[in-house]
Structure 1
Amino acid sequence: MSTWPDTRIIDLLGIELPIIQAPMAGATSTAMVIAASEAGALGSMPAAALSIEQLREALTTVRQSSTRALNVNFFCHQPPTPDAERDRQWKNLLQPYYRELGADFDAPTPTSSRAPFNNAACEVVEAFRPEVVSFHFGLPEKALLDRVKATGAKVLSSATTVEEAIWLEQHGCDAIIAMGYEAGGHRGMFLTADLSSQIGTLALVPQIVDAVSVPVIAAGGIGDARGIVAAFALGASAVQVGTAYLFTPEANVTPSHHHALRTAQASETALTNLFTGRPARGIINRVMRELGSINPTAPAFPLSGGALMPLKAKDEAGFSNLWSGQALRLCKDLSTYQLTRTLAEQALEKFKRT
């Protein structure tokens, strides 16, 4: 394709297009990663919801099908301190739903888990040597990060404030994902828990560009070529696109999620901590409306989802997370390959006219 106005991310990561397919735990399939990579973007495999064996199997599949650059994404949160009283209060808050739906309230509460980056995960990185390793919720401890860097991988992480971006550069990131308030899924916040501190993409990207010397990747509210052009105008060197890839046939979404993505209005997403304990943007459903999108009773990440599992099994649409960003009404039903190429072609055409 023609030359992009900023090629720093293309050159840094060894990719054809300055587009990163967002790593969306649970929704990203190996087919999506392969197709995004083959289309010239950076395909991203999320590891947080996978066991080590599942991650090895997924990466083996991707490596057998594509020789393009690959990103593997990890969460690096601290496991929560057990709090039996908070768990009890949370389940009691859900008890009326258990009665209504016929779920067994007295059965042991299922475990909801998200694995943070650890030694076993680092060994997978050392074995498969992905070209890019990205993190959410900051960075892992220095010893692990040094091992990642020793493989030759470029390191990315998400910043939701300027302060987080500066911290990430100081601690070794090769590029920073500026995650605007509009983005779907979990907020990458790690230096603050204050949602009122969160900044929209339009204001966040240029401030991070001005504050750091490494390339910046814009994320949040980017659903078509206009968003890509705008991101570059703000100083970004690439974009990370998530929600648009949820509309592809390669997306591993439930029937309820599929339906919600195609019928919800742009105003019908909200940040919620109900499903995992951390703020994440999704389409508003019954439990969010009735308990409030942010509820202080919800246990710490990632534990709150356990008590919701029996309810989700009875009413998937009402009690499961339906992650989505605010740009969902800009998204089209295309294959991953078609979406990636279309976004790039249309953006380049717009650049020619500016």
Structure 2
Amino acid sequence: MPGALTALLGITEPIVLGPFGGASSIALTALVSEVGGLGSFGLYGYSPQRIRETIESLRAATGKPFALNLWLPKGDEVAPADVDLAPYLDALAPLYTAAGVSAPTVPDAFLPSIEDQLDAVMDAAPAVLSVVYGVPPADVIDRARGRGIRIIGTATTVAEAVALDDAGVDAIVASGAEAAGHRVSFLQPPERSLVGTFSLVPQVVDAVRAPVIAAGGIADGRGVAAAFALGASGVQVGTAFLRTDESAVPPAHRRAIAAAGDTDTVLTSAMSGRLARGIPNRALHAIEASGLIAPFPAQNWLTGVFRAEAARKDDGDLLSLWAGQSAGLATRSDARDVFRELQAGVPR
């Protein structure tokens, strides 16, 4: 029930902001923490220096607990030297032209090392470290415990939840297939791990000792109430907050969420090289039609060049329009209003 999670994390409401890799904002993270939930900030691709600067900004904005989110390596990531990018650059050339940018120069690395990122997080000792795409190693859990950091893992299947529970994480997000963004499966391919929230949450609750946070398809008080009826101790909400003015996404992304209905999202690896749920647009269709999608994280880096310019120009045709299946319920533009609506579903 709610008390198990709130006491564990030092919050007053069992509501967690979804961590948006590349789309988190200081304002939204701090607001959710300030009103009693757990604000979360996604650190995908952040250098150690940028992590330190982000934590400083968050602490200047709120004195309440917040979570930092990292992507654990799965072992299938490619380095620039591992892949010939020429055919993928050719396939994306029309999209670079449409955005008004040049094809990028291949970097020395697509991502900073997870070890360096973890060092920066451990040094800063936030209240919570949340992770996706795997089970944190024992030494990471031990380091976190020594720094007073709670660890939240993320599961898309019961087996993943059990693996996280056995490792000793403090809480587990059970992420149903309805959820926006990347399918963070790590034991089986994501295509074989598409369990809906309504099926996943109670089975995870029955299988683990740690408190369970329900995620996927929860956008209003009714979804919150349903999650608790299924045995969850809290909820994680993404799309409803992504739609708000406080989020970091461009206005075109907010408009796309506002216009989306229940069947208006798809699962695709076109934008990043890993399966994710979002709203289709020109870029997604063009990449899928080309049949050329580079392995992760090369594809994410390649598309990031035109996506960054598209964000600057507010061009929704060239963005990653991540959204969940309950986008049609994301009707509020003020994050405080979203939070109050979610609060209404928490059992008292």
TM-score by length of structure 1 reads 0.88
For 2:267 and 2:149, locate their aligned partners in 1 and report how far apart those are by CA, in whole Å: 32
Instruction: After TM superposition, give the deviation of residue 301 of structure 1 in Å.
Output: 1.6
**Do the aligned partners of 2:172 and 2:210 also contact (CA within 8 Å) in 1?**
yes
1:143 aligns to what? 139
- 2:324 matched to 1:331? no
- 2:88 matched to 1:93? no
Matches within 5 A, 1:295-314: 297-309=292-304, 311-312=306-307, 313=309
For 2:345 and 2:96, locate their aligned partners in 1 and report how far apart those are by CA, in whole Å: 49
AA aligned to 2:252 is S
| Matching residue within 47, 55, 59 for 1:63 | 59
Matches within 5 A, 1:272-287: 272-287=268-283
For 2:209 and 2:158, locate their aligned partners in 1 and report how far apart those are by CA, in whole Å: 13
- 2:160 matched to 1:160? no
| Matching residue within 185, 190, 201 for 2:186 | 190
Instruction: After TM superposition, give the deviation of residue 153 of structure 1 in Å.
Output: 1.2
Instruction: After TM superposition, give the deviation of residue 64 of structure 1 in Å.
Output: 2.4
2:124 aligns to what? 128
Matches within 5 A, 1:30-109: 30-77=26-73, 78=75, 79-82=77-80, 87-95=85-93, 97=95, 104=102, 108-109=105-106
**Do the aligned partners of 1:216 and 1:238 also contact (CA within 8 Å) in 2?**
yes
For 2:55 and 2:101, locate their aligned partners in 1 and report how far apart those are by CA, in whole Å: 37
Unaligned runs of 5+ in 2: none
For 1:83 and 1:297, locate their aligned partners in 2 and report how far apart those are by CA, in whole Å: 18
AA aligned to 1:68 is K
- 2:143 matched to 1:117? no
| Matching residue within 215, 226, 230 for 1:230 | 226
* Residues 311 and 206 (structure 1), Cα distance of their counterparts in 2 relative to 1, 3 Å cut: same
Percent identity of equivalent pairs: 35
Kindly tell me the number of residue pairs found equivalent between the two proteins: 342
* Residues 62 and 328 (structure 1), Cα distance of their counterparts in 2 relative to 1, 3 Å cut: same
**Do the aligned partners of 1:182 and 1:220 also contact (CA within 8 Å) in 2?**
yes
Query: What is the aligned-residue RMSD (CA, Å)?
Result: 2.5
**Do the aligned partners of 2:135 and 2:163 also contact (CA within 8 Å) in 1?**
no
For 1:112 and 1:325, locate their aligned partners in 2 and report how far apart those are by CA, in whole Å: 31
Q: CA offsets per residue over residues 13-48 of structure 1, 9 Å max, x none?
A: 111001001111222211111110111000112111
* Residues 322 and 145 (structure 1), Cα distance of their counterparts in 2 relative to 1, 3 Å cut: same
Q: Identify the range of structure 1 (88-97 vs 273-282) with the bigger mean alpha-carbon deviation.
A: 88-97
For 1:224 and 1:201, locate their aligned partners in 2 and report how far apart those are by CA, in whole Å: 15
| Matching residue within 330, 345, 348 for 1:347 | 345
Instruction: After TM superposition, give the deviation of residue 194 of structure 1 in Å.
Output: 4.2
SS in 2 for 1:278: coil
- 2:15 matched to 1:19? yes
Instruction: After TM superposition, give the deviation of residue 197 of structure 1 in Å.
Output: 2.9
* Residues 74 and 306 (structure 1), Cα distance of their counterparts in 2 relative to 1, 3 Å cut: closer
For 2:336 and 2:99, locate their aligned partners in 1 and report how far apart those are by CA, in whole Å: 41
SS in 1 for 2:69: strand
* Residues 98 and 176 (structure 1), Cα distance of their counterparts in 2 relative to 1, 3 Å cut: closer
Q: Identify the range of structure 1 (328-337 vs 7-16) with the bigger mean alpha-carbon deviation.
A: 328-337
SS in 1 for 2:19: coil
Instruction: After TM superposition, give the deviation of residue 114 of structure 1 in Å.
Output: 4.5
For 1:347 and 1:178, locate their aligned partners in 2 and report how far apart those are by CA, in whole Å: 18
AA aligned to 1:205 is V
- 2:207 matched to 1:207? no
**Do the aligned partners of 1:112 and 1:303 also contact (CA within 8 Å) in 2?**
no
Q: Identify the range of structure 1 (81-90 vs 45-54) with the bigger mean alpha-carbon deviation.
A: 81-90
Instruction: After TM superposition, give the deviation of residue 233 of structure 1 in Å.
Output: 0.8
AA aligned to 1:45 is F
* Residues 94 and 45 (structure 1), Cα distance of their counterparts in 2 relative to 1, 3 Å cut: closer
TM-score by length of structure 2 reads 0.89
Q: Identify the range of structure 1 (210-219 vs 60-69) with the bigger mean alpha-carbon deviation.
A: 60-69
**Do the aligned partners of 1:74 and 1:116 also contact (CA within 8 Å) in 2?**
no
Instruction: After TM superposition, give the deviation of residue 11 of structure 1 in Å.
Output: 1.5
Unaligned runs of 5+ in 1: none
For 1:95 and 1:128, locate their aligned partners in 2 and report how far apart those are by CA, in whole Å: 41
Instruction: After TM superposition, give the deviation of residue 270 of structure 1 in Å.
Output: 1.1
* Residues 102 and 245 (structure 1), Cα distance of their counterparts in 2 relative to 1, 3 Å cut: closer
